[in-house]
């Protein structure tokens, strides 16, 4: 019971950040326990190659089920394959806390008749039992939970465990897809009009609030995001989503997404407690607001007081300049 199973989410035929981070987290746990890392990947043609690349991040055994019909995420099939793989003797089973991982993990846990810890930010193996920490109340509190029976099933939050190259044995084997009953079929993926990173995945977030005074002014934030590079994305406060200026997918806070990027810009956001809960674990927070007494300055590492319509173009220009200079 020292081995750890990681579910590798394959997107567009690639083992991306979500997959590499979950394997890295699994490696850390299995090294403490003296076991190895097994990976299960289910997807369309090409999944084996994507899975194999995870050997570099510590995967010892990579179990792959691939077929043409699995190019789109099929929850019933994937649940069946992963639950069968997880029925082995594992100390822990890890999923990414992505849209797919948060859908799939509970299905597998339900199938195995076990509890699941969501959005885990720390894992300890002290004293033989697996103990985890996770945010509750959108980050207003941190819970410590202990698994009293194995396997410890969890989803792990993005940007917390990192993706570290540590070669494992990397042996790929093919496993049965089986004949699970397909109760619900995913028939299409419809890409959003805008091609941008999700707030839960980005390492830099530029969030706008009511201080922007209207959806028309968002180009100021879009320009800053573009200057910050391809790991940056747009976020929004609840007020502007409720006003219809921005889509809900961008909302950061207790009724939106809870995020932990390296750098978070809060622009024209006063800092309601439900918003602070969703972003206060960002590593570095920059607040730009006209009101020097706004609560957002209480959590910000760096504050700029003033008119965001004057500050933003200058900030974008300076960011562009320093990034060009390297």
Partner 1 sequence: MNTIVCIKRVPDSATRVKIGPGGSELDPAGVKYVVNPYDEYALEEAIRRREAAGSGRVTAISVGTDAAAETLRQALAMGADDAVLLKSVGSTDGFVIAKALADEIASREYDLVLFGKQAIDDDNMQVPQMVAELLGLPCATVVVGLEIDGGRAVAKREVEGGHEVVEFSLPAVVSTQKGLNEPRYPNLKGIMAAKKKPLEEKDIALAASTLELISLEEPPPPAAGRIVGEGADAVPALISALREEAKVL
- Angle, vertex CA 301, rays to CA 295 and CA 302, nearest 5: 90
Report d(CA 11, CA 125) in Å as an integer. Answer: 31
| CB of 320 vs partner 1, minimal distance in Å | 11
Looking at beta carbons only, is 144 or 174 nearer to partner 1?
Answer: 144
| CB of 244 vs partner 1, minimal distance in Å | 11
- How many residues does this entry show for the chain? 326
Relative orientation angle of helices 219-228 and 308-325, to the nearest 10 degrees: 20
| CB of 280 vs partner 1, minimal distance in Å | 6
Q: Is residue 214 a contact partner of residue 98, using CB atoms and an 8 Å limit?
A: no
Q: Is residue 61 a contact partner of residue 30, using CB atoms and an 8 Å limit?
A: no
C-alpha atoms less than 13 angstroms from C-alpha of 36 in its C-beta half-sphere: 12
| CB of 173 vs partner 1, minimal distance in Å | 27
| CB of 121 vs partner 1, minimal distance in Å | 11
Looking at beta carbons only, is 88 or 137 nearer to partner 1?
Answer: 137
Report d(CA 231, CA 8) in Å as an integer. Answer: 21
Q: Is residue 5 a contact partner of residue 94, using CB atoms and an 8 Å limit?
A: yes
Looking at beta carbons only, is 148 or 179 nearer to partner 1?
Answer: 148
Looking at beta carbons only, is 166 or 290 nearer to partner 1?
Answer: 290
Within 10 Å of residue 5's Cβ, how many Cβ atoms? 26
Hey, is 155 helix, strand or coil? Answer: strand
Looking at beta carbons only, is 50 or 132 nearer to partner 1?
Answer: 132
| CB of 65 vs partner 1, minimal distance in Å | 19
Looking at beta carbons only, is 136 or 243 nearer to partner 1?
Answer: 136
Report d(CA 137, CA 6) in Å as an integer. Answer: 27
Looking at beta carbons only, is 114 or 166 nearer to partner 1?
Answer: 114
| CB of 19 vs partner 1, minimal distance in Å | 13
Q: Is residue 272 a contact partner of residue 210, using CB atoms and an 8 Å limit?
A: no
């Amino acid at each position: 019971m020292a081995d750890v199973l990681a579910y590798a989410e394959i997107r567009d035929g690639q083992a991306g950040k979500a997959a590499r981070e979950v394997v890295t987290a699994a490696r850390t746990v299995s090294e403490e326990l003296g076991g190895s890392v097994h990976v299960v990947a289910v997807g369309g043609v090409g999944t084996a190659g994507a899975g194999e690349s995870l050997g570099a991040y510590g995967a010892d055994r990579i179990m792959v089920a691939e077929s043409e019909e699995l190019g789109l995420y099929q929850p019933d099939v994937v649940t069946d394959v992963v639950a069968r793989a997880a029925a082995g003797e594992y100390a822990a089973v890890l999923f990414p806390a992505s849209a797919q991982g948060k859908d799939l993990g509970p299905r597998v846990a339900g199938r195995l008749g076990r509890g699941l810890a969501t959005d885990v930010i720390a894992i300890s193996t002290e004293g033989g039992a697996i103990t985890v920490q996770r945010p509750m109340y959108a980050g207003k509190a941190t819970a410590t939970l202990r698994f009293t029976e194995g396997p410890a099933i969890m989803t792990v939050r993005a940007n917390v465990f990192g993706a570290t190259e540590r070669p494992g044995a990397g042996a790929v084997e093919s496993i049965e897809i089986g004949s699970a009953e397909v109760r619900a079929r995913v028939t299409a993926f419809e890409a959003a009009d805008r091609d941008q990173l999700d707030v839960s995945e980005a390492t830099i977030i530029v969030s706008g609030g009511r201080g922007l005074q209207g959806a028309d002014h968002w180009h100021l934030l879009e320009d800053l995001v573009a200057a910050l590079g391809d790991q940056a994305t747009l976020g929004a406060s609840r007020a502007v989503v409720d006003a219809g200026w921005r889509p809900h997918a961008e909302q950061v806070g207790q009724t939106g997404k809870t995020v932990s990027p390296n750098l978070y810009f809060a622009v024209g956001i006063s800092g309601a407690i439900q918003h602070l809960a969703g972003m206060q674990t960002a590593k570095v927070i920059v607040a730009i607001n006209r009101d020097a007494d706004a609560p957002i300055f209480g959590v910000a590492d760096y504050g700029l007081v003033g008119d965001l319509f004057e500050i933003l173009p200058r900030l974008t220009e300076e960011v562009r300049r320093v990034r060009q200079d390297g």
